[in-house]
Amino acid sequence: MDASAAPTAIQVRDLVVGFGQRTVLDHLSLDVHRGEILGLVGASGGGKSVLLRTIIGLIPKREGSIKIMGMELDQAMLQGTQAIGRRWGILFQQGALFSSLTARQNVQFPMRENLGISESLLDELATAKLEMVGLSRDDGDKFPSELSGGMTKRVALARALALDPEIVFLDEPTSGLDPISAGDFDALIRTLHQTLGLTVFMVTHDLDSLHTVCDRVAALADGKIVAVGPMTNLLASTHPWVKSYFHGDRARVRAPSAN
């Protein structure tokens, strides 16, 4: 728990992950520092989501080690996923809200299972979390099928933050949102990161998010991290894939405003 004991929030070393004959991640290493927002970019189908899902223990790895908060992931999993589940929150791409529960019940679910607090405090906290992500008290009574795409992501974020985790994993948080909503969501992540002192690991394709939100960006190509550092470093990278990613047609449109 001590902050000085583990300067890196997530440490990935020589990670190999594959399915059948295919190797998706090939001796990949990556560090995520405490309290930073790290953005992960990579080609579609290039293994970004696989990396994220391996770090959170949904996909088994073949080789290598993953340490979260200085704790070996394998051991943490052996001790039971609940202990580690309290220390991270995950925003899935489609929200993954429980469709039979209201938004408020979705946020309350992890708290109810883990905290052992009274019903009235649960209600207050859930409303507080919903308000923190920019929703109103009344939105809490809606079911996931009644929420818009942006609201679904916000509720999912509130649920990810329910237990005040140290690390938050975001899988394409702004995909499927209009540019204004996406911008608002980016600002929200930035604010929550500052207020709650979160470490954020974010998979994204959104160049604006990378520019405005991320402290550091890691680029994944050919199963390895080929470049990592602040955005300026990546823009200066000579790796062919990184070059085409940040200097392609779509990137050039926004480049003048970024600089």
Partner 1 sequence: MSGGPLFSFAISGERVEFVATGPWIAAHAEALELLVSDVTSKAPAARSAAVNLSGIEQLDTLGAWLLERVIRVCKERGQETVVVGLSPRFCSLFDTVHELNRDPPASHAKPNRLIAVLEGVGRATADLRVDLLAFLDMFGAISMAILRVLSRPRSFRLTSAVHHLYRVGWQAVPIIALITFLIGGIIAQQGIFHFRKFGADAYVVDMVGILVLREIGVLIVSIMVAGRSGSAYTAELGSMKMREEIDALRTMGFDPVEVLILPRVLALIIALPILAFLGSMAALYGGGLVAWLYGGMSPDIFLARLREAISVTHFEVGMIKAPFMALVIGIVACSEGLRVKGSAESLGLQTTTSVVKSIFLVIVLDGVFAIFFASIGM
Binders of partner 1 in range 79-98 (CB under 8 A): 86
What residues contact 42, with CB distance under 8 A and at least 6 apart?
Answer: 48, 219, 220, 221
Between β-strands 63-68 and 71-72, what pairing exists: parallel, antiparallel or unpaired? antiparallel
Own/partner pairs, 186-191, CB within 8 angstroms, 24+ separation: 186/212, 186/213, 188/133, 188/134, 188/154, 188/157, 189/37, 189/157, 189/213, 190/37
For the bound state, the minimum distance from the C-beta of residue 191 to partner 1, rounded and expressed in Å, comes to 8
Q: How far does CA 110 lie from the centroid of its chain? A: 18
1 binds partner 1 (CB under 8 A): yes
What residues contact 151, with CB distance under 8 A and at least 6 apart?
Answer: 103, 135, 139, 142
161 binds partner 1 (CB under 8 A): yes
Between β-strands 8-19 and 22-33, what pairing exists: parallel, antiparallel or unpaired? antiparallel
Query: Of the candidates 39, 144, 150, 173, which one interacts with partner 1 according to CB under 8 A?
Result: 144
Contact window for partner 1 (CB under 8 A) among 27-35, 74-82, 130-138, 218-226: 130-138
- Return the structure tokens found at 61: 């790895």
Contact window for partner 1 (CB under 8 A) among 18-26, 34-42, 63-71, 116-124: 116-124
257 binds partner 1 (CB under 8 A): no
For the bound state, the minimum distance from the C-beta of residue 163 to partner 1, rounded and expressed in Å, comes to 5
Measured at the CA of 252, the angle between CA 251 and CA 256, to 5 degrees, comes to: 115
124 binds partner 1 (CB under 8 A): yes
5 binds partner 1 (CB under 8 A): no
Query: Of the candidates 196, 236, 253, 255, which one interacts with partner 1 according to CB under 8 A?
Result: 196
108 binds partner 1 (CB under 8 A): no
State the residues that interact with partner 1 by CB under 8 A: 1-2, 86, 99-100, 111, 114-118, 121, 123-125, 127-129, 131-132, 136-138, 143-146, 161, 163-164, 194-197
